[in-house]
Amino acid sequence: MQSFRTELENPIVERDIIDLEKKIRAFREGKIHDEKFRSLRLARGVYGQRQPGVQMVRIKLPFGKVTFKQLLRIADVSDEYASHNLHLTTRQDIQIHYVSLDRTPQLWAELERDDITLREACGNTVRNVTASATAGIDPKEPFDVSPYAHATFEFFLRNPICQEMGRKFKISFSSSDQDTAFSYIHDVGLIPKLKDNGERGFKVLLGGGLGAQPLLASIVEEFLPEDQLIPYIESVIRVFDRYGERNNRNKARLKYLIQKIGLDEVLRLAREERIANKVKTYPINRATVDTPVLPSATSYGQVTVTNPLRYEQWLITNVFEQKQKGFYGVYIKVPVGDIPTDIARKLVDAVSPYAADEIRITQNQGLLLKYVKKEALPALYNRLTELDLSAPGFDSVADVTTCPGTDTCNLGISNSMTLSKVLEDVIYNEYEDLIFNREIKIKISGCMNSCGQHGLAHIGFHGSSLKAGLKVLPSVQVLLGGGTVGDGVGRAAEKVIKVPAKRATHTLRAVLDDYKLNSIAEETFHNYYDRLGKDYFYQLLKPLADLTTLTDDEFVDWGHEETFATAIGVGECAGVVIDLVATLLFEADEKLGWANESFSNGAWSDAIYHSYNVLISSAKALLLDKNINSSTQAGIIREFDAQYVDKGEFSLDGTFNDLVLQINKNEPSEEFANAYLGSAKNFLDRVKVKREALVQS
């Protein structure tokens, strides 16, 4: 412990890391139930892999921003603790793999030296706040959304209202109406708007999500003033925390709560929560995200481009002029999102003379460099070519998005990484003109959960399996017609047919050939798909689903040599519900400690919310003694009244509902915080007495 206790300047971060180390020790000693421990480590970015005994660690990079120094630090950490590789994700994080659980506290401490966190990168929390990679340099943006994304990240990090929700909560900021951050698939999606008088605000979308049942978000505000942004999100999260499903994780996202009680009711409940918010307005400090340090080189000399034709293609597909005249943004296409650590170091060395000290991770698992001078482009291209990172066709048909699939993920059914490479090879070798097509997107996930965003693809695939007689073979579900329309409007891809995985290449050729042959001049893929209809594509691809013509190699997945077998583990995309009475009471004690600490620090709102959670955990513990496991916090409140208060088994001055829901009837003042904290402590003490009596009886 001493090795990092004295090195970190931030006492809050230091305590987080020390707490993780203590929890790991307690888990090893059998003092913490494994399911409870899982939720604890997930909220600290530590995620179990498909391979037993090792962890994936997700590094949280708000809106995908990483400096040269931070990237080098992450590479060093991967070399010391992981597998010498960095994986870029569709949520603008970096993941490293094959980490020993016992070394994660020290790993975290090493990252924090350069202000890099793991906190709330996984688990039932507000996940990484994403934004368009071009934010700040986008010629089409009304204003830079980066400071707003940063403020949102900071406000909800370690915020009591979102530490133990029913499921994860995702927020995105698009830089313009082009909606390149996909507002329509997020719990809260935001698009910047500027009034004629210069007032800044956001179009707000609510309740989107992909997964096995994709639902598109609803537009709930056409213009939300910028100082109302964070209070608005806070109110929604408070509603989600109280009313969201907690037992059935497949129904525990905000989109399902909206389905269950209706959008109008969710918005009404959110308005009720405004009185309890920590702040009623939240002015955004627009200076929190600095203009990056500009490139060091000022003259570039005479440069001979190594491959002139490829260079011209690269200029067209991977380079654009920023809104800052005279500077260019340069995209780097990263196959399957993987960068070996030695290449990451060479990349920093290669680009630092020509680009600003800020890289953005893109939603399609690439990188964006900023502030490159036009005269520096040939030299930069040559340096990228040396690293095999100058492939043209960024974000085109040839730039396939994928998740890790069966390489490391517990939920993976088939190999998405190798399939991605194979499909890209098909484009480059057979359809090279499509490297200029940035309308059609191909996306792959290893399972139905859409980590590779297949649900918003024009041409999507997700891993599956098919039964052929007594054998099982790897397959892909083919989806068509999804994608971004713009300004908050999107489309969910439709499931068309399932085919053997080894026929995915034939499937892609069939769709692209038909598009070339049967689309009308200037017709978009969406219009082409709608005009012909889903059944047309089912009939087009039906021959590829014929299992009477299978060959032996089709029972072997892409990138494998052994015969396919389905092997799905327990997913860890969110924490697991804990139904142990003793654990719940232990948690209530812990939360009471947090409430007292927050109160001592003058953080009235935090003290109140911790006290609220003391009441909920305590009541749930007693309800479990009656084998009642309510799936929502609102249900716990209702059931405690029905099972204990109404029956005279637990006396209160009024109802439990009245006691608990003082939280949204009062301003978060010192006086109310003190009274509410006292009520929570008294209630917990009485629950312990009641519990002891039940055990003894």
- Tell me what pLDDT residue 584 has: 85
Where would I find the beta strands (DSSP E) of 469-620? 471-480, 483-486, 489-491, 494-500
- What are 499-530's pLDDT values in tens digits? 999 999 999 999 999 999 999 999 999 999 99
At 575, is the pLDDT very low, low, confident or very high (cuts 50, 70, 90)? very low
Quote the distance between the C-alpha of residue 224 and its chain's center: 24
- Tell me what pLDDT residue 578 has: 35
- Tell me what pLDDT residue 1 has: 38
- What are 312-343's pLDDT values in tens digits? 999 999 999 999 999 999 999 999 999 999 99
Over residues 448-474, the mean pLDDT reads 92
Strand, helix or coil for residue 437: coil
The residue written with tokens 């870029």 in the block is 88
At 212, is the pLDDT very low, low, confident or very high (cuts 50, 70, 90)? confident
Q: Any residues with CB less than 8 A from the CB of 457 and at least 6 apart, and which?
A: 401, 441, 442, 443, 479, 482, 483, 493
At 62, is the pLDDT very low, low, confident or very high (cuts 50, 70, 90)? very high
Q: How many CB atoms lie within 10 A of CB 327?
A: 19
Strand, helix or coil for residue 169: strand
- What are 144-156's pLDDT values in tens digits? 999 999 999 999 9
- What are 15-49's pLDDT values in tens digits? 889 888 988 998 888 878 777 788 788 888 899 88
More confidently predicted of 23 and 577: 23
Q: Any residues with CB less than 8 A from the CB of 485 and at least 6 apart, and which?
A: 491, 526
What DSSP letter does each residue of 4-70 carry, written as one string? Answer: HHTT-S-HHHHHHHHHHHHHHHHHHTT-S-HHHHHHHHHTTTEEE-SSTT-EEEEEB-GGGEE-HHH
- What are 590-634's pLDDT values in tens digits? 999 999 999 999 999 999 999 999 999 999 999 998 999 999 999
For the cut 70, the answer to whether the pLDDT of residue 379 exceeds it is: yes
Residues in the chain: 697
- What are 425-437's pLDDT values in tens digits? 999 999 999 999 9
Numbers of helices and strands, H then E, in the chain: 21, 22
Structure tokens that stand for 504 in this block: 């995915």
- What are 283-310's pLDDT values in tens digits? 999 999 988 999 987 788 889 998 999 9
**230-244, 257-271, 544-558 — which is least confidently predicted?**
544-558
Distance CA 456, CA 467 (A): 27
- What are 549-568's pLDDT values in tens digits? 999 999 998 888 777 666 55
- What are 168-196's pLDDT values in tens digits? 999 999 999 999 999 999 999 999 999 99
Distance CA 510, CA 416 (A): 20
Where would I find the beta strands (DSSP E) of 362-509? 367-373, 401-402, 442-445, 459-468, 471-480, 483-486, 489-491, 494-500
- Tell me what pLDDT residue 38 has: 80
Structure tokens that stand for 175 in this block: 């830089």
- Tell me what pLDDT residue 576 has: 37
Distance CA 591, CA 652 (A): 22
Q: Find the farthest-apart pair of alpha carbons in the chain and give their distance in angstroms, rounded.
A: 89
Over residues 569-585, the mean pLDDT reads 56
What domains does the chain contain, in order, with CATH numbers?
Answer: 2-65+89-112 (no CATH), 130-276 (3.30.413.10), 308-386 (3.30.70.3340), 402-555 (3.30.413.10), 581-696 (1.20.120.330)
For the cut 90, the answer to whether the pLDDT of residue 406 exceeds it is: no
- Tell me what pLDDT residue 580 has: 67
- Tell me what pLDDT residue 3 has: 46
For the cut 70, the answer to whether the pLDDT of residue 448 exceeds it is: yes
- Element containing residue 514 per DSSP (H, E): helix 504-518
For the cut 70, the answer to whether the pLDDT of residue 139 exceeds it is: yes
- Tell me what pLDDT residue 564 has: 63
The mean predicted confidence, pLDDT, of the chain is 93
More confidently predicted of 404 and 66: 66
- What are 642-676's pLDDT values in tens digits? 999 999 999 999 999 999 999 999 999 999 999 99
At 2, is the pLDDT very low, low, confident or very high (cuts 50, 70, 90)? very low
For the cut 70, the answer to whether the pLDDT of residue 570 exceeds it is: no
For the cut 90, the answer to whether the pLDDT of residue 483 exceeds it is: yes
